[in-house]
Structures are given as structure tokens and as C-alpha cells.
């Protein structure tokens, strides 16, 4: 540490990562009078930094982690060869994954919380029930939806669990390809509904509504309609005067007291100066991969395999949604152009194939939704020419007359699917990177491939002249949904955190990101992560008396 630098003053609560869960925690805690320091590895970009520059966002890593400085490694099983790859490349910056997300925020269903009760033990999987239920989260789902700013239509999804309140702004209008999907589903006797999305469609809390640009998924939003924690919860927390937000800070180790309680962290600022930040409570909100990595990097003499790992389950049961799809090509002489650039990237959704139907030959299911094939430079159609006149012709003939029906894998938890430290590869700071080992369960392959086939049927019904499937081969983390590496449970021998997300082994150390998920569920996890973070922080306020009494 530089001799001219002093460690900052102790704080009540320290948050590692100012993304979805960290931003939620900062808002809830500071508005209750708690003094908070939030350390964010990335920078704080505002609306004016964003645009629809496709090359900047898709090709040049403007919001993605630098693959040279912050690599990860992946292998498809313990005996497989390890490769360096951008597995689940979630943006690192204030807002985290909510910077680039499409903002799809359906709630978990009632069944999602009790999969083992419904299906029993599944060979090759480690299926469990959640120790909390939908009713525990429902009030917090509502709080997040209304404080964050969410569009949707309550009651439109016939499979949705009971709600106490509707949505603050109306749903996104149907796009051309959303309408094609919805009409085909209706012909087949199935239902669709507007996607609940973290965006405002009418003026809301000083924010402007969405302009219906296709440059949304993977992009920052220059308008501010997208409900990122960077333009909602973080400003709310800063307005209290109780949030000290420090960006470009790399946390390398969590510190413990002599009797084993969390007492703070070691971090490095952008100038390379190392500090200790002490706190009464430490909240890990860096995402399931980086939180697991940090807990392992923080190993001590009494926690040789990482903090919170007395059960041996830290990093295990890792789940990662995978996005698969079927592509439909429509004859331009028959079907009007779909104009994918003129509407939101995804539009219209169905839960009709979400619940288990054993007649399909597998358990579980997935939501499905219509989308464009990508943006003008990076869009893809299987077999599309990639250069020359043939490529130009394909752009003209295919881009406006094609669409996807997407599938999101609900992968079963398996103890052998794990995040740990790579033994040879290090990052730009010389620390071991996260290594992901993941082999899909046979049920993962069965239910996603069945759904891709079903989506081909729907596209055919919609009038597509050609349909092409894209099936599951391996998990690549392309949804950027990271879950399960620090499973929540009541038994310390079978879980990493308790029902309030405090680690069984280290008092005062909480894990609020998707690490705590006992199962992956079949919906996008971020709304549940945020709702649970709100629930837990209300508990922290009560138990620790606003953080003023040391643990």
C-alpha cells in the first residue's frame, strides 16, 4: 500500500458490486438510514455515453469485460480440455447486467419453488426445493417492479402466480414479428402475452418512454427508458447522502476478524493503490461466477477451500441458462417485411410449454418468445453467405423477412457443475481466473430440443417457407444468467447460505446475487435476485440496527 494513502473510515455495510442486487441493496439500506460503501469494479456510465453504435457494443467490448484482462476458462466436464473464453460476459460497471439486459422480468411460478416435491430425486441431478416460497417474495416483486419501472399487463399470462398489484406502465406494443408469432399461436390454440420488461413505456418518475429501437439488447440506453439500477436505484441511494460509491475498484480478498466474522475487504483502486475497507456487514453482489471466485481467493487457515465452504458446495450446482432458437424465413413476395430494427429485440411471450408434461418425455419446460435475428452487421441466418455479392443479396432478401422463436434452457443443478479457480490462467492483476466446468444433464438436452422442434412447428404455422433449428450442444453462458454456486438452505451441511442469504460459516457475510438460487428456474433470474435482495436487506436493517452495532 502507498505510504501516502490512508485506509478509509469504517462503514456500516460494504457492497461488492453495484449491479442488480448491489444497486437494490444500496437503495434499501441507505433509505433506511444505513451508511453504505459500494465498490464497483467498472466505471459509472450515464445515458449520454450510450448509443446504437453496433460495432462499439457488439464487436468492440464497450460494456463487456476486456477478454485479455478479465478472461474466464470453460470445460465441458472434468476430463475435457479447458479453453479460455468469454463465458457469461456480464458487463462490469455501475448497473452490472442491467446495463445490457433486454429487461425481461417475468416472476417465478409457484411450481418453481418446489421442484423436488413435484418430481422427486432425478438421477444425475441435485434437485431441491427452495427454503422460501413465492409468498415470501411477492411483496418484494411488487416493490421492485414499481420502484424500478416496469411495463406489462397483469393477468395476461394465465400461468402467472397471484399478484398484489399490476404494473406501473403499460406493455410494449406488438412488433411485426411479435404479431406473426401471436397469430400463429392463437391458430394452434395456445396463448401469448406481452413480455413484462424493465422499461417505461410512458413518462415515469422523470424518465422518458422507450423509442422502440431494435438496438436495445446488449446496448446501453441513451434515452433512460431502460430500467437499469444505474439510472434508478443507484441515484436514489446517492440522493440520501449515505452511499459512498467507488468505481474502478478491484476487490481481491474478504477479511475476517480473529473469531471468524466478516470485517471488510482488500481492494485496489484504478491507480494501483491497495486499501482495506472495514465494515460491520459485507454483501457479495458480484454475480455467481465472480462472487464464487472471490470467496475462493479469500481462503484462510480455517477456511482452506474458500469462505462459506464447510459443506463443500461452494461453486457447485452452477446453472447457466442457454438461449436456443428456431429460425423462420418468410417469402418476401407473400409476407410483408418484419422490420426487426423497428421494434424491441424481443416481443411477445408464452408460458404454455413451461410446466412439466411427462408425455413429452422429459420434465420441466421453458418460456418462449419472438425476436429478431440480430442487428444489421452481426445478424445471422444459418447458411447465410458472409462476404461478397452473395452476402449483400442475403442482407436484402433475408434480414427483413426472417425471425427467431427463442428458448431458454432450464438446466438442472448438478454437483459436478462447478465454478472454481483455474490452476494456470490468471487475469491482468495476476490472480487466478474463474474456471467453469459444466456438462448439461440429459433432461436439459431433451426439453430444449423438444421446444426448438415445437418452435419450428409454430413458425411453419406462421407461414415460414423455411425453418432451421439451433439445438443445445453445450452451455456457453450466452444468456449471462449465473445461478446456484452458493445454494440457499436450512441445513449447513447441504447449503452455503441460510434463508436470509448469510453464509452459514461466516457471520456478517451475505451473498445477494444469483449464487443463492437452489435451482435455476425457467425465467430470467434478475427480478427474483432484486426482490430477494430487498427482502434480505430489510432483515439486515432489523437485525443489525442500521449497522451501527458491530457484529
Nearest to 40 by CA among 91, 94, 89: 94
Going through 3-78 in order, the beta strands assigned E by DSSP cover 11-16, 36-39, 72-75
Q: What does the angle CA 136 – CA 13 – CA 105 come to, to the nearest 5 degrees?
A: 40
- Strands of the sheet containing 466-470, edge to edge, are 346-350, 368-371, 402-408, 323-329, 466-470
pLDDT band at 551; cut points 50, 70, 90: very low
Backbone angles phi, psi at 527, to 5 degrees: -60, -40
Mean residue pLDDT across the chain: 94
Which residue would you say has higher pLDDT here, 74 or 6?
A: 74
Whole-number pLDDT of residue 545: 60
Whole-number pLDDT of residue 339: 83
Whole-number pLDDT of residue 4: 52
Whether 5 shows a pLDDT value over 80: the answer reads no
The dotted CATH code for 174-194+323-408+439-474 is 3.30.410
* Mean pLDDT, residues 391-413: 91
Whether 550 shows a pLDDT value over 70: the answer reads no
CA distance 477 to 251: 24
Whole-number pLDDT of residue 116: 97
Q: How many residues does the chain have?
A: 551
The proportion of the chain whose per-residue pLDDT surpasses 70, expressed as a percent, equals 98
Whether 48 shows a pLDDT value over 50: the answer reads yes
Predicted TM-score of the model (pTM): 0.96
CA distance 406 to 419: 27
* Mean pLDDT, residues 503-508: 97
Whole-number pLDDT of residue 213: 78
Tell me which of 38-42, 97-101, 390-394, 417-421 is least confident. Answer: 390-394
Percent helix, percent strand, percent coil in the chain, to nearest 5: 25, 20, 55
Whole-number pLDDT of residue 245: 98
Largest Cα separation within the chain, whole Å, is 75
Which residue would you say has higher pLDDT here, 50 or 396?
A: 50
Nearest to 531 by CA among 111, 316, 233: 233
- Alpha-carbon distance values, 547 to 19, 25, 31, 225, 308 (Å): 22, 13, 13, 34, 22
Sorted by where each begins, the domain ranges of the chain are 7-107+219-320+480-551, 174-194+323-408+439-474
CATH number 3.40.50.720 given to 7-107+219-320+480-551: no
Whether 547 shows a pLDDT value over 50: the answer reads no
CA 333 to chain centre: 40
Whole-number pLDDT of residue 212: 72
Tell me which of 32-41, 87-96, 247-256, 532-541 is least confident. Answer: 87-96
Whole-number pLDDT of residue 402: 93
Whole-number pLDDT of residue 218: 87
- Per-residue pLDDT of 233-250, as tens digits, reads 999 999 999 999 999 999
- Per-residue pLDDT of 66-120, as tens digits, reads 999 999 999 999 999 999 999 999 898 999 999 999 999 999 999 999 999 999 9
Please count the other Cβ atoms lying within 10 Å of the Cβ belonging to residue 60: 10
Which residue would you say has higher pLDDT here, 200 or 214?
A: 200
- Calculate helix-pair angle for 526-543, 20-31, nearest 10 degrees: 30
Beta carbons of 139 and 28 less than 8 angstroms apart: no
- Per-residue pLDDT of 179-203, as tens digits, reads 999 999 999 999 999 999 999 999 9
Q: 228: part of which helix (H) or strand (E)?
A: none
The proportion of the chain whose per-residue pLDDT surpasses 90, expressed as a percent, equals 83
Amino acid at each position: 500500500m502507498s505510504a501516502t494513502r490512508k485506509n478509509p473510515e469504517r462503514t456500516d455495510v460494504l457492497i461488492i458490486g453495484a449491479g442488480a442486487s448491489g444497486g437494490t441493496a444500496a437503495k434499501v439500506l441507505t433509505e433506511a438510514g444505513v451508511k453504505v460503501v459500494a465498490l464497483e469494479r467498472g466505471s459509472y456510465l450515464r445515458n449520454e455515453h450510450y448509443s446504437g453504435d453496433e460495432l462499439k457494443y457488439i464487436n468492440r467490448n464497450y460494456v463487456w469485460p476486456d477478454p485479455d484482462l478479465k478472461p474466464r476458462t470453460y470445460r465441458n466436464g472434468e476430463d475435457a480440455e479447458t479453453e479460455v473464453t468469454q463465458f457469461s460476459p456480464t458487463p462490469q460497471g455501475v448497473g452490472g447486467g442491467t446495463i445490457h439486459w433486454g429487461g425481461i422480468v417475468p416472476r417465478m411460478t409457484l411450481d418453481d419453488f418446489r421442484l423436488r416435491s413435484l418430481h422427486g430425486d432425478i438421477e444425475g441431478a441435485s434437485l431441491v426445493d427452495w427454503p422460501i416460497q413465492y409468498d415470501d417474495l411477492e411483496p418484494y416483486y411488487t416493490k421492485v417492479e414499481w420502484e424500478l419501472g416496469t411495463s406489462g399487463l397483469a393477468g395476461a399470462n394465465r400461468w402467472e402466480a397471484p399478484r398484489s398489484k399490476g404494473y406501473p406502465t403499460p406493455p410494449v406494443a406488438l412488433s411485426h414479428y411479435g404479431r406473426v408469432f401471436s397469430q400463429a399461436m392463437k391458430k394452434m390454440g395456445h396463448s401469448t402475452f406481452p413480455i413484462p420488461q424493465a422499461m417505461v413505456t410512458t413518462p415515469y418518475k422523470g424518465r422518458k418512454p422507450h423509442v422502440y429501437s431494435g438496438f436495445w439488447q446488449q446496448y446501453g440506453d441513451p434515452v433512460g427508458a431502460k430500467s437499469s439500477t444505474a439510472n434508478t436505484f443507484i441515484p436514489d441511494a446517492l440522493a440520501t447522502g449515505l452511499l459512498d460509491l467507488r468505481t474502478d475498484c478491484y476487490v481481491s480478498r474478504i477479511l475476517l476478524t480473529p473469531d471468524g466474522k466478516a470485517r471488510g475487504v482488500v481492494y485496489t483502486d484504478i491507480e494501483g493503490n491497495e486499501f482495506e475497507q472495514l465494515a460491520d456487514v459485507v454483501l457479495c453482489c458480484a454475480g455467481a461466477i465472480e462472487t464464487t471466485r472471490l470467496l475462493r481467493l479469500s481462503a484462510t487457515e480455517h477456511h482452506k477451500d474458500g469462505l462459506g465452504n464447510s459443506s463443500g458446495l461452494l461453486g457447485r450446482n452452477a446453472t447457466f441458462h442457454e438461449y436456443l432458437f428456431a429460425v423462420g424465413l418468410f417469402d418476401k413476395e407473400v409476407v410483408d417485411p418484419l422490420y426487426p430494427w423497428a421494434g424491441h429485440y424481443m416481443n411477445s411471450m408464452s408460458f404454455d410449454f413451461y410446466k412439466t408434461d411427462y408425455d413429452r418425455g422429459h420434465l420441466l419446460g421453458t418460456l418462449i418468445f419472438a425476436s429478431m435475428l440480430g442487428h444489421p452487421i452481426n445478424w445471422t441466418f444459418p447458411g447465410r453467405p458472409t462476404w461478397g455479392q452473395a452476402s449483400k443479396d442475403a442482407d436484402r432478401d433475408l434480414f427483413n423477412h426472417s425471425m427467431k422463436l427463442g428458448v431458454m434452457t432450464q438446466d438442472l443443478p448438478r454437483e459436478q457443475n462447478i465454478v472454481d479457480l483455474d490452476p494456470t490462467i490468471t487475469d491482468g492483476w495476476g490472480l487466478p481466473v474463474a474456471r467453469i466446468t459444466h456438462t448439461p444433464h440429459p433432461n436439459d438436452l431433451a426439453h430444449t430440443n423438444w421446444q426448438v422442434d415445437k418452435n419450428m412447428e409454430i413458425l411453419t404455422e406462421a407461414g415460414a417457407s423455411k425453418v432451421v433449428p439451433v439445438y443445445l450442444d453445450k452451455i456457453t453462458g450466452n444468456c449471462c444468467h449465473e445461478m446456484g454456486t452458493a445454494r440457499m438452505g436450512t441445513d449447513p451441511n447441504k447449503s452455503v447460505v441460510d434463508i436470509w442469504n448469510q453464509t452459514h460459516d461466516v457471520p456478517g457475510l451475505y451473498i445477494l446475487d444469483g449464487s443463492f438460487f437452489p435451482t435455476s428456474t425457467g425465467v430470467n433470474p434478475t427480478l427474483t435476485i432484486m426482490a430477494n435482495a430487498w427482502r434480505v436487506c430489510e432483515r439486515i436493517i432489523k437485525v443489525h440496527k442500521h449497522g451501527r452495532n458491530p457484529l
